[in-house]
Amino acid sequence: MDSNDGRQRATLQRIAHRAMLERGLEPDFSPAVLAQVASVQAAAPRSNGARDLRALPWCSIDNDDSMDLDQLSVARRTNGGAVEVLVAVADVDALVGKGSPVDAHARANTTSVYTAAEIFPMLPEKLSTDLTSLADRQDRPAVVVEITVGADGSITGSDVYRAVVTNHAKLAYDSVAAWLEGTGPVPPVLAAAPGLEVNLRMQDDVAQRLRESRHERGALDLQTIEARPVFDAGEITDLRPEERNRAKELIEDLMIAANGVTARFLAAKELPSLRRVVRTPKRWERIVEVAGHFGEALPAQPDARALAGFLAKRRAADPLRFPDLSLTVIKLLGAGEYVVERPGQVAPGHFGLAVKDYTHATAPNRRFPDLITQRLLKAALAGAPTPYADAELAELATHCTQQEDAANKVERQVAKSAAAMLLAGKIGQEFDGIITGASEKGTWVRVFQPPVEGRVMRGFEGADVGHRLRVRLVRTDVERGFIDFERA
């Protein structure tokens, strides 16, 4: 394909559409879904005794262009001087009834799929970016998770209830992070909301305490390189790495806490829950071997604290290669999965987060497990029977795990095709990189700029993981996402 023909985004969209179908995902909404959405009206903000919390200085923090806003947050001090963080989650169930056509589509895909060229939303945009979004300046029904956090980062109290809320400031990660880190001015939207600057500082303080507490228990701090394509008039011009920052960590820490509170709330109400777990790694001995290559000794039995300490040392010692070590550890830990925890039973915890109780509850516009959890929560609050029978919930746990894996493969396929497309006009050019894989199956290199990975087809003899290498690009295949190098 001619890289200058103005149709690169369209080509990637075609590849993404094909990949969705090949992986058993539905890229398009059915006529029944569209008919349902055409007739839907906004949900009444107040119902069933919901608390009126619209006056609190709620805000959202997300990507600059995100409109499918799943959660808001706010902090407040209690009469005893403790700090409470409130996380409001969009009441998607209010407009997406169980068994409806929209619900059937969401149940089929189980997640929004974010490819390099196109987003395939789990819910139609009239819902996810408008009527079921906690949109800017709109009164919306929500399920609120209330978390009381002690000075040491421990959770000393919690509650879950229904409320009506208003988003007083739609904020973006990068500008909030720059302000929190002291490298940028206060975002104008933040400055315009009375009292929100102080409140957001309070939220950040609580989030840092929660993070430190998890890390003391052995939460793993991993870093991988994920790059988003940059388009100009439909042409891909660059791959820009996603950067971690203080604002993203703030939201991550509050959501982890809220998900834990939700799981424990359902257990206390003796209702089943859909837990998100990462099991104790079966390939721990290989993780021990990896640490041994760096002169570090890990215990013979899985130990999250020991692994977290090893990773922290490697990040400090060799930040350049840390993303590749992180990816190795992630693969050896194994993928996350959904399992059912029934009353009286104990599901496996989340090894990577160092938490025992964990579910997915805070993104019901984007993930079907969160919508399932929301329905379970609303049943618990109403004293109603569970909306899902045991057998149905177990089937959904397996299905959600499988479809999440399928969605990840679609996203990776399109990302590889985008990288191949970017490099298509650079055949013969040389790049500096680092070996990320070396086995009988092949040798792989990650070049630094642009941040892409490809296979070393010739001249890889003697190259091992972690070695620096200068390579020459010899071939790309956009359709299959192949990038081939040779040693320069």
| Tens of pLDDT, residue by residue, the chain (488 residues) | 344 446 889 999 999 999 999 999 999 999 999 999 999 987 777 666 899 999 999 999 999 989 999 999 999 998 777 899 999 999 999 999 999 999 999 999 999 999 988 999 999 999 999 999 999 999 999 999 999 999 889 999 999 999 999 999 999 999 999 999 999 999 999 999 999 999 999 999 999 999 999 999 999 988 888 888 888 877 888 888 888 899 999 999 999 999 999 999 999 999 999 999 999 988 899 899 989 989 999 999 999 999 999 999 999 998 888 888 888 888 888 889 999 999 988 888 999 998 999 999 999 999 999 999 999 999 999 999 999 999 999 999 999 999 999 999 999 999 999 999 999 999 999 999 888 887 888 899 989 888 899 999 998 888 877 788 899 999 999 999 999 999 99
If asked whether residues 356 and 454 sit together in one domain, one would say no
Same domain, 193 and 156: yes
Based on the domain organization, do 232 and 303 belong to the same domain?
no
In this structure, the answer to whether residues 340 and 315 fall within a common structural domain is: no
Q: For residue 17, what are the domain limits?
A: 8-279+335-410
* Shared-domain flag, residues 159 and 248: yes
Same domain, 270 and 294: no
Assign residue 454 the CATH number of its domain: 2.40.50.140
Residues in CB range of 188: below 8 A, 6 or more apart: none
Q: pTM value?
A: 0.91
Domain stops at, among 333, 363, 396: 333
Asked if residue 188 is part of any domain, the answer here is: yes
State the total domains in the chain: 3
Q: Are 329 and 434 within one domain?
A: no
In a domain, residue 16? The reply is: yes
Q: Is residue 416 part of a domain?
A: no
The token duo for 108 is 């089929």
In a domain, 422, yes or no: no
Domain boundary among 410, 435, 452: 410
420 occurs within a structural domain: no
345 and 300 in one domain?
no
For CA atoms 338, 325, 319, 470, the dihedral sign is: negative
**465 and 398 in a common domain:** no
Residue 180 lies in a domain: yes
In a domain, 3, yes or no: no
In a domain, 421, yes or no: no
Same domain, 216 and 271: yes
Instruction: Tell me whether residue 79 is exposed, middle or buried, using C-beta atoms within 10 angstroms of its C-beta: 0 to 12, 13 to 18, 19 or more.
Output: exposed
| Residues 272 and 292 grouped into a single domain | no
Closest CA to 56 of 84, 75, 69: 75
Same domain, 377 and 390: yes
